Amino acid sequence: MFASERQKIIMDKLMNQQRVTIKELSEEIKVSEATLRTDLSKMEESGLLKRTHGGAVLSEHQDSDTSFSMRESKNRDEKSAIAKKAAELLSSGQCIMLDASSTALELARILRDTSIRLTVVTSGINTALELNNHSDITVILLGGIVKRGSNSLEGNLGISILSKIHIDAMFTSANGFSIDSGLTDFSVYEVELKKAMVNASNKVIALLDHTKMNKNSIASFASIDQLDLIITNDELPDGYAVKLEDQGIEVLIVSGNTN
Protein backbone atom coordinates (compact mmCIF):
# COMPACT_ATOMS: atom_id res chain seq x y z
CA MET A 1 0.00 0.00 0.00
CA PHE A 2 1.32 3.44 -0.96
CA ALA A 3 1.79 6.14 1.67
CA SER A 4 -0.94 8.26 0.05
CA GLU A 5 -3.39 5.34 0.35
CA ARG A 6 -2.54 4.86 4.04
CA GLN A 7 -2.97 8.58 4.65
CA LYS A 8 -6.34 8.53 2.91
CA ILE A 9 -7.50 5.76 5.29
CA ILE A 10 -6.17 7.70 8.27
CA MET A 11 -7.97 10.88 7.18
CA ASP A 12 -11.23 9.00 6.58
CA LYS A 13 -11.08 7.52 10.09
CA LEU A 14 -10.30 10.91 11.59
CA MET A 15 -13.25 12.48 9.76
CA ASN A 16 -15.54 9.83 11.19
CA GLN A 17 -14.27 9.61 14.76
CA GLN A 18 -11.91 12.61 15.24
CA ARG A 19 -9.28 10.42 16.95
CA VAL A 20 -7.17 7.37 16.00
CA THR A 21 -4.53 5.26 17.73
CA ILE A 22 -1.43 3.84 16.09
CA LYS A 23 -2.28 0.40 17.45
CA GLU A 24 -5.73 0.27 15.86
CA LEU A 25 -4.37 1.65 12.58
CA SER A 26 -1.61 -0.98 12.53
CA GLU A 27 -4.15 -3.75 13.01
CA GLU A 28 -6.48 -2.39 10.32
CA ILE A 29 -3.98 -1.38 7.64
CA LYS A 30 -1.53 -4.24 8.36
CA VAL A 31 1.61 -2.11 8.48
CA SER A 32 4.14 -1.54 11.23
CA GLU A 33 3.61 1.02 13.95
CA ALA A 34 6.93 2.63 12.95
CA THR A 35 5.62 3.22 9.42
CA LEU A 36 2.45 4.75 10.80
CA ARG A 37 4.40 7.05 13.10
CA THR A 38 6.22 8.35 10.03
CA ASP A 39 2.91 8.85 8.20
CA LEU A 40 1.41 10.73 11.14
CA SER A 41 4.47 12.94 11.48
CA LYS A 42 4.34 13.91 7.79
CA MET A 43 0.61 14.56 8.02
CA GLU A 44 1.14 16.73 11.09
CA GLU A 45 3.76 18.75 9.19
CA SER A 46 1.15 19.36 6.49
CA GLY A 47 -1.37 20.57 9.07
CA LEU A 48 -3.74 17.66 8.53
CA LEU A 49 -3.72 16.36 12.10
CA LYS A 50 -2.19 16.76 15.53
CA ARG A 51 -0.10 14.01 17.07
CA THR A 52 -1.06 12.72 20.49
CA HIS A 53 0.49 10.10 22.75
CA GLY A 54 -0.12 6.86 20.88
CA GLY A 55 -2.11 8.35 18.03
CA ALA A 56 -3.54 11.52 16.51
CA VAL A 57 -6.56 13.81 16.45
CA LEU A 58 -7.98 15.86 13.63
CA SER A 59 -6.50 19.34 13.71
CA GLU A 60 -8.94 22.20 14.18
CA HIS A 61 -7.58 23.81 11.02
CA GLN A 62 -8.07 20.70 8.92
CA ASP A 63 -11.54 20.05 10.33
CA SER A 64 -12.55 23.48 9.08
CA ASP A 65 -10.87 23.04 5.71
CA THR A 66 -12.60 19.77 4.89
CA SER A 67 -16.11 21.09 5.54
CA PHE A 68 -17.30 22.77 2.34
CA SER A 69 -19.54 25.24 4.15
CA MET A 70 -16.62 26.32 6.33
CA ARG A 71 -14.26 26.60 3.36
CA GLU A 72 -16.83 28.62 1.45
CA SER A 73 -17.09 31.17 4.26
CA LYS A 74 -13.33 31.60 4.73
CA ASN A 75 -11.59 34.52 2.98
CA ARG A 76 -14.79 35.27 1.05
CA ASP A 77 -13.68 38.74 -0.08
CA GLU A 78 -10.39 37.39 -1.43
CA LYS A 79 -12.10 34.54 -3.27
CA SER A 80 -14.64 36.92 -4.78
CA ALA A 81 -11.91 39.26 -6.03
CA ILE A 82 -9.94 36.35 -7.49
CA ALA A 83 -13.06 34.98 -9.21
CA LYS A 84 -13.90 38.38 -10.72
CA LYS A 85 -10.42 38.60 -12.22
CA ALA A 86 -10.78 35.07 -13.60
CA ALA A 87 -14.09 35.99 -15.25
CA GLU A 88 -12.36 38.83 -17.09
CA LEU A 89 -10.22 36.26 -18.91
CA LEU A 90 -13.22 34.53 -20.49
CA SER A 91 -14.83 35.14 -23.87
CA SER A 92 -17.91 33.73 -25.56
CA GLY A 93 -17.55 30.40 -27.30
CA GLN A 94 -15.02 28.90 -24.89
CA CYS A 95 -15.24 25.54 -23.17
CA ILE A 96 -13.90 25.74 -19.64
CA MET A 97 -13.46 23.38 -16.70
CA LEU A 98 -14.29 24.27 -13.09
CA ASP A 99 -13.33 22.06 -10.18
CA ALA A 100 -15.47 21.66 -7.05
CA SER A 101 -13.64 24.28 -4.99
CA SER A 102 -15.36 27.13 -3.19
CA THR A 103 -13.41 29.65 -5.30
CA ALA A 104 -14.59 28.02 -8.54
CA LEU A 105 -18.12 28.24 -7.13
CA GLU A 106 -17.60 31.99 -6.70
CA LEU A 107 -16.60 32.16 -10.37
CA ALA A 108 -19.76 30.23 -11.33
CA ARG A 109 -21.90 32.75 -9.43
CA ILE A 110 -20.32 35.59 -11.39
CA LEU A 111 -20.86 33.78 -14.70
CA ARG A 112 -24.49 33.11 -13.73
CA ASP A 113 -25.15 36.85 -13.92
CA THR A 114 -23.00 37.48 -17.01
CA SER A 115 -24.10 37.59 -20.65
CA ILE A 116 -21.69 35.05 -22.09
CA ARG A 117 -21.92 31.85 -24.14
CA LEU A 118 -19.89 29.00 -22.66
CA THR A 119 -19.65 25.29 -22.18
CA VAL A 120 -18.71 24.52 -18.58
CA VAL A 121 -17.44 21.11 -17.52
CA THR A 122 -17.36 20.67 -13.75
CA SER A 123 -16.92 18.17 -10.93
CA GLY A 124 -18.82 20.43 -8.53
CA ILE A 125 -22.51 19.72 -7.94
CA ASN A 126 -23.20 23.21 -6.56
CA THR A 127 -21.25 24.77 -9.43
CA ALA A 128 -23.38 22.90 -11.97
CA LEU A 129 -26.60 23.97 -10.24
CA GLU A 130 -25.52 27.62 -10.17
CA LEU A 131 -25.10 27.65 -13.96
CA ASN A 132 -27.87 25.29 -14.98
CA ASN A 133 -30.50 27.97 -15.66
CA HIS A 134 -28.23 30.25 -17.70
CA SER A 135 -29.68 30.32 -21.22
CA ASP A 136 -26.29 30.45 -22.97
CA ILE A 137 -24.19 28.17 -20.75
CA THR A 138 -24.14 24.44 -21.41
CA VAL A 139 -23.20 22.52 -18.27
CA ILE A 140 -21.53 19.10 -18.31
CA LEU A 141 -21.32 17.46 -14.87
CA LEU A 142 -18.59 14.84 -14.66
CA GLY A 143 -19.75 11.50 -13.32
CA GLY A 144 -18.36 10.12 -10.09
CA ILE A 145 -18.99 9.31 -6.46
CA VAL A 146 -20.58 12.08 -4.39
CA LYS A 147 -18.09 13.03 -1.69
CA ARG A 148 -19.79 13.37 1.69
CA GLY A 149 -19.78 16.91 3.07
CA SER A 150 -18.18 18.55 0.05
CA ASN A 151 -20.78 18.57 -2.76
CA SER A 152 -18.11 17.34 -5.15
CA LEU A 153 -17.57 14.24 -7.25
CA GLU A 154 -14.54 11.99 -7.05
CA GLY A 155 -13.23 8.83 -8.65
CA ASN A 156 -12.52 7.71 -12.21
CA LEU A 157 -16.07 7.32 -13.51
CA GLY A 158 -16.11 10.72 -15.22
CA ILE A 159 -12.67 10.58 -16.79
CA SER A 160 -13.63 8.97 -20.12
CA ILE A 161 -15.76 11.93 -21.20
CA LEU A 162 -12.74 14.25 -20.96
CA SER A 163 -11.17 12.68 -24.06
CA LYS A 164 -14.22 13.73 -26.09
CA ILE A 165 -14.20 17.41 -25.12
CA HIS A 166 -11.84 20.24 -26.08
CA ILE A 167 -11.13 22.23 -22.89
CA ASP A 168 -9.73 25.71 -23.43
CA ALA A 169 -8.92 26.37 -19.77
CA MET A 170 -9.35 24.80 -16.36
CA PHE A 171 -9.94 26.96 -13.30
CA THR A 172 -8.99 25.14 -10.12
CA SER A 173 -8.12 25.75 -6.50
CA ALA A 174 -6.36 23.48 -4.01
CA ASN A 175 -5.91 22.74 -0.35
CA GLY A 176 -2.30 23.86 -0.69
CA PHE A 177 0.35 25.04 -3.14
CA SER A 178 4.14 25.02 -3.06
CA ILE A 179 6.82 25.36 -5.71
CA ASP A 180 8.12 21.87 -4.92
CA SER A 181 4.78 20.02 -4.83
CA GLY A 182 2.53 22.16 -7.02
CA LEU A 183 -1.20 21.98 -6.31
CA THR A 184 -2.13 19.51 -3.56
CA ASP A 185 -5.31 18.21 -1.92
CA PHE A 186 -6.20 15.92 0.97
CA SER A 187 -8.54 13.54 -0.90
CA VAL A 188 -6.59 10.92 -2.83
CA TYR A 189 -9.66 9.95 -4.85
CA GLU A 190 -10.57 13.53 -5.77
CA VAL A 191 -6.95 14.10 -6.74
CA GLU A 192 -7.16 11.31 -9.35
CA LEU A 193 -10.08 13.05 -11.05
CA LYS A 194 -8.38 16.44 -10.86
CA LYS A 195 -5.22 15.01 -12.45
CA ALA A 196 -7.30 13.88 -15.42
CA MET A 197 -8.98 17.29 -15.58
CA VAL A 198 -5.60 19.02 -15.65
CA ASN A 199 -4.27 16.71 -18.36
CA ALA A 200 -7.34 17.33 -20.53
CA SER A 201 -7.02 21.13 -20.42
CA ASN A 202 -5.05 23.34 -22.78
CA LYS A 203 -4.46 25.87 -20.03
CA VAL A 204 -4.52 25.51 -16.23
CA ILE A 205 -5.34 28.54 -14.10
CA ALA A 206 -5.05 28.26 -10.32
CA LEU A 207 -7.29 30.40 -8.12
CA LEU A 208 -5.44 30.62 -4.80
CA ASP A 209 -5.84 33.03 -1.94
CA HIS A 210 -2.70 33.70 0.11
CA THR A 211 -3.58 31.12 2.80
CA LYS A 212 -2.95 28.30 0.30
CA MET A 213 0.64 29.36 -0.42
CA ASN A 214 3.62 27.38 0.92
CA LYS A 215 1.24 24.72 2.21
CA ASN A 216 1.23 21.03 1.28
CA SER A 217 -1.49 18.43 1.57
CA ILE A 218 -1.44 14.66 1.01
CA ALA A 219 -1.33 14.35 -2.78
CA SER A 220 -0.34 16.50 -5.75
CA PHE A 221 -2.60 16.86 -8.77
CA ALA A 222 -0.67 19.46 -10.80
CA SER A 223 3.04 20.22 -10.82
CA ILE A 224 4.24 23.78 -11.37
CA ASP A 225 5.21 23.03 -14.98
CA GLN A 226 1.54 22.24 -15.66
CA LEU A 227 0.37 25.65 -14.41
CA ASP A 228 0.02 28.58 -16.78
CA LEU A 229 -1.37 31.25 -14.47
CA ILE A 230 -2.02 31.84 -10.78
CA ILE A 231 -4.56 34.44 -9.67
CA THR A 232 -4.09 35.39 -6.02
CA ASN A 233 -4.66 38.25 -3.62
CA ASP A 234 -2.24 40.91 -2.43
CA GLU A 235 -1.07 39.28 0.79
CA LEU A 236 1.63 37.06 -0.67
CA PRO A 237 4.93 36.70 1.20
CA ASP A 238 7.57 39.17 0.04
CA GLY A 239 9.20 38.07 -3.19
CA TYR A 240 6.92 35.06 -3.68
CA ALA A 241 5.38 36.34 -6.93
CA VAL A 242 8.87 36.80 -8.37
CA LYS A 243 9.75 33.22 -7.43
CA LEU A 244 6.67 31.98 -9.25
CA GLU A 245 7.41 34.03 -12.34
CA ASP A 246 10.97 32.66 -12.32
CA GLN A 247 9.33 29.24 -12.66
CA GLY A 248 7.54 30.42 -15.82
CA ILE A 249 4.15 30.95 -14.13
CA GLU A 250 2.26 34.14 -14.84
CA VAL A 251 0.87 35.75 -11.68
CA LEU A 252 -2.10 38.10 -11.42
CA ILE A 253 -2.53 39.81 -8.06
CA VAL A 254 -5.84 41.32 -7.02
CA SER A 255 -6.97 43.29 -4.00
CA GLY A 256 -8.94 41.31 -1.47
CA ASN A 257 -11.12 44.35 -0.82
CA THR A 258 -14.14 44.05 -3.10
CA ASN A 259 -15.77 47.29 -1.96
41-58 pLDDT tens trace: 988 877 678 899 999 987
CB 151 within 8 A of CB 100: yes
Q: CATH for 69-254?
A: 3.40.50.1360
pLDDT at 99: 95
Q: What is the mean pLDDT of residues 216-240?
A: 91
Q: What is the pLDDT of residue 207?
A: 97
Q: Would you say the CATH fold of 69-254 matches that of 3-66? A: no
Rounded distance between C-alpha atoms, residue 96 and residue 138, angstroms: 10
* pLDDT at res. 59: 66
Round to whole Å and give the CA distance between 132 and 121. 12
Percentage, residues of the chain above pLDDT 90: 59
pLDDT at 64 over 60: no
For residue 165, how many other CB atoms are within 10 A of its CB? 13
Least confident of 127-131, 142-146, 154-158, 235-239: 154-158
CATH class of the domain whose range is 3-66: mainly alpha
Q: Measured between alpha carbons, how far is 175 from 219 in angstroms, rounded to an integer?
A: 10
- What was the pLDDT predicted at 256? 59
The residue among 18 and 247 whose pLDDT is bigger is: 247
Domain positions in the chain: 3-66, 69-254
Position 97 scores a pLDDT of 97
For the residues 190-200, what does the mean pLDDT come to?
Answer: 90
pLDDT digits (tens, 9 = 90+) for 163-175: 899 999 999 999 8
In 3D space, the residue among 57, 37, 34 whose CA is nearest the CA of residue 47 turns out to be 57
At residue 257 the predicted structure's pLDDT band, cuts being 50, 70 and 90, is low
User: Is the model's pLDDT at 110 over the cut of 70?
Assistant: yes
Q: How much is the average pLDDT of 198-223?
A: 92
Average pLDDT, the chain: 87
